[in-house]
Amino acid sequence: MEITSKVYLSIFAWSIIHESGAFSTKKTYKRLWINSLEKDVIRSGFQNLKPGMDYYPFYQEAQTRQIADWLIGMNGSMLYTLNLRSKGANGTFSLGRVQTPTLYMIYQRQQMIEHFKKEPFYEIESLIKATTGSFKALLSPSQRFSTKEELLSFVSSKGAAIGTQPGTIKDLQTKMKKTNSPNLFSLSSLQSKINQLYKATASQTLKAMQGLYEAKLLSYPRTDTPFITDSEFQYLKANYDSYARFLSIDEPMAQDQPRKRYVDGSKVQEHYAIIPTKQVASESAFNKLDDLQKKIYLLVMKTTIAMFLPDYTYEETVIETMVSTLCFKATGKVPKVEGWKILFKADTNKENEESQTLPVVMIGEAIQAEVKSVQKETQPPKPFTEGTLLTAMKTANKTVDDEQAIKILQEVEGIGTEATRASIIETLKQKEYIKVEKNKLIVTEKGKLLCQAVESQHLLTSAEMTAKWETYLKKIGKKEGNQETFIANIKKFIVHLIEHVPDDVQKLNFHTYQAEVKKEADKQTIGKCPKCGGNVVLKKSFYGCSNYPNCTFTLSDQFRKKKLTKTNLKDLLVGKETVVSGIKKADKTTYHAKIKLSDTGQITFVSFVNAPKKAKKVGNKA
């Protein structure tokens, strides 16, 4: 983590120095390293400037990565685009070391879901009826059965049967347990949580956090660690009362000493976890924040303050019941000290609803057990959301088998960085490889086609490319490797792609893709092109001919900043005059106008018209 952050920061500084012509081995360079906009931190940073040349190898490492990314992206994108176009796939198909494996992760998950076949299985449960009450218990150890006959045979072999029969309380264990408050937030963990709670995208969350940082209400957002140092702990502790007042809680500080779960200087390099600054938002400042910023600020504030409150303490009871030689186990919880959970009432209430409270029983007590056979179905994996995808990108080591690759990916924390993962997801959306439906990420037909095209090139689809790159790039950062060797190997890989990609694309089945593209195009078609007779279809912010580039006809979806209706557009394409209502003038009053399509294909003004008459409602008055 230390090397990764220093590498990415170094390339900005040294690139500026080189581009401005200010680099010289005879000059002395000093670097300012700060992770806060607090005045005392800035002063301390200037008093402890670092030797600039100590970080120069990190610049060389980052520059090498940058060049390699460019070579793969530029050559790979053009290579796949041209080959796919030759088979009738329109558009451009861009590739990237992080972008493509991320897309492929979503694609693989979607394939698993689409091809998943639910299979029934059976489990044994029991409703235990004691003198003081009833409770649900599960077979211990748990076991699944493929058929009901297999389950019945197992129950019979244990001297029991399906239905009500006597049993005995075999064991009773009661323990007091504690749960710590949640970890502090890194960027990706906060983005994941906000997506889970409020369905906000990763980029929306980052933008909102940047605003809170610039307002000096939250610490630097692009951090990859959930830890703070003792210095931050002390200022948070000193400001506890102010934070508590802001949250309207009247709870005394209970945890006034730093704990390793939250405070560990060895795990903090340039930037610590996302926490409130010393400046607490006033009521007026808080009210000026947008809705998402308010939600983020409150969540970060609560998560930080929870660190100082008592642990959540509960009494856990485990009851074991014997029915013949079948063992059933039930677990119940009784809250004793609410502690930090007072800040998260909604979550606490949900947990309480899901847990059961067990009655008071005695070891050796006779009970009646209603043993049941319960049929269930295997479930497919869940589609990725932006939140779960961020986590998958960070833990990409779980998707590879090579032990060395796993180790490297653990060190660099997956693919992408805290600062770039949100933009990677946005790029996939902008390139129309994925779309969002009900907060779920869905691969489009275009995305599927690219994934099928790159499928045989394992380095493009797997996080393993990042692992192989980082192995050597780390050597450059340590002065043990050189840029020329690495770039030469990248060029060899590009030659390999040039030799094999045409054959890979040739093997693809384009029928499904073309059928889906036509289906989607039909939805977007509003009429026939007046120049060539092709279809006029929606192209993001305007309409254009489907025969592009052979036909360059385009049609704006606006007239004098007023959005045209589909009826307006259809009328224009067939040569009719059409009325546009509610066009705004400079003084904010509105007017209505008749327009038409000129011989040159331009929307032109015909005349002013009176307000269109509204159709009369037919029927009885309510």
Name the 3-class secondary structure at 550: coil
Q: What is the pLDDT of residues 270-306, one digit of tens each?
A: 789 999 999 999 999 999 999 999 999 999 999 999 9
Is residue 407 left, alpha or beta, with left meaning phi > 0 and alpha meaning psi from -120 to 50? alpha
Q: Does the pLDDT of residue 4 top 50, yes or no? A: no
519: which 2 tokens? Answer: 């289906």
355: which 2 tokens? Answer: 């847990």
Nearest in space to 87 (alpha carbons), one of 371, 473, 507? 507
More confident residue, 613 or 297: 297
Q: Does the pLDDT of residue 2 top 70, yes or no? A: no
State mean pLDDT over 499-509.
93
Nearest in space to 186 (alpha carbons), one of 201, 200, 202, 197? 202
Question: Over the Cα atoms of the chain, what is R_g?
Answer: 32
Nearest in space to 171 (alpha carbons), one of 371, 327, 324, 326? 327
> Which one-letter DSSP state was computed for residue 184?
P
Measured in degrees and rounded to the nearest 5, phi and psi for residue 213 equal: -70, -45
How much is the mean pLDDT over the chain?
89
Q: What is the pLDDT of residues 66-92, one digit of tens each?
A: 999 999 999 999 999 999 999 888 889
- Structure confidence at residue 3 (pLDDT): 40
Q: What is the pLDDT of residues 14-24, one digit of tens each?
A: 888 888 888 88
Q: What is the pLDDT of residues 331-341, one digit of tens each?
A: 999 999 999 99
Whole-angstrom Cα distance, residue 592 to residue 572?
A: 16
Q: What is the pTM of this model?
A: 0.79
> What's the sign of the alpha-carbon dihedral 504, 509, 510, 516?
negative
Tell me the C-alpha to C-alpha distance, in Å, between residue 388 and each of 124, 191, 209. Answer: 32, 10, 19
Instruction: Break the chain into its structural domains and give their ranges.
Output: 59-112+383-506, 120-180+312-377, 187-306, 528-609
Give the CATH class of 187-306. Answer: mainly alpha
Length of the chain (residues): 622
Q: Are 299 and 283 in contact (CB under 8 A)?
A: no
More confident residue, 1 or 235: 235
Give the CATH class of 59-112+383-506. Answer: mainly alpha
pLDDT-based confidence at 163, cuts 50/70/90?
Answer: very high
pLDDT-based confidence at 612, cuts 50/70/90?
Answer: low
State mean pLDDT over 99-125.
96
> Which one-letter DSSP state was computed for residue 585?
-
| Strands (E) located in 438-565 | 440-443, 525-528, 535-539, 542-545, 554-556, 558-559, 562-563
CATH 1.10.530.10 fits 120-180+312-377, yes or no: no
Percentage of residues in the chain having pLDDT higher than 70 = 93
Percentage of residues in the chain having pLDDT higher than 90 = 66
Name the 3-class secondary structure at 560: coil
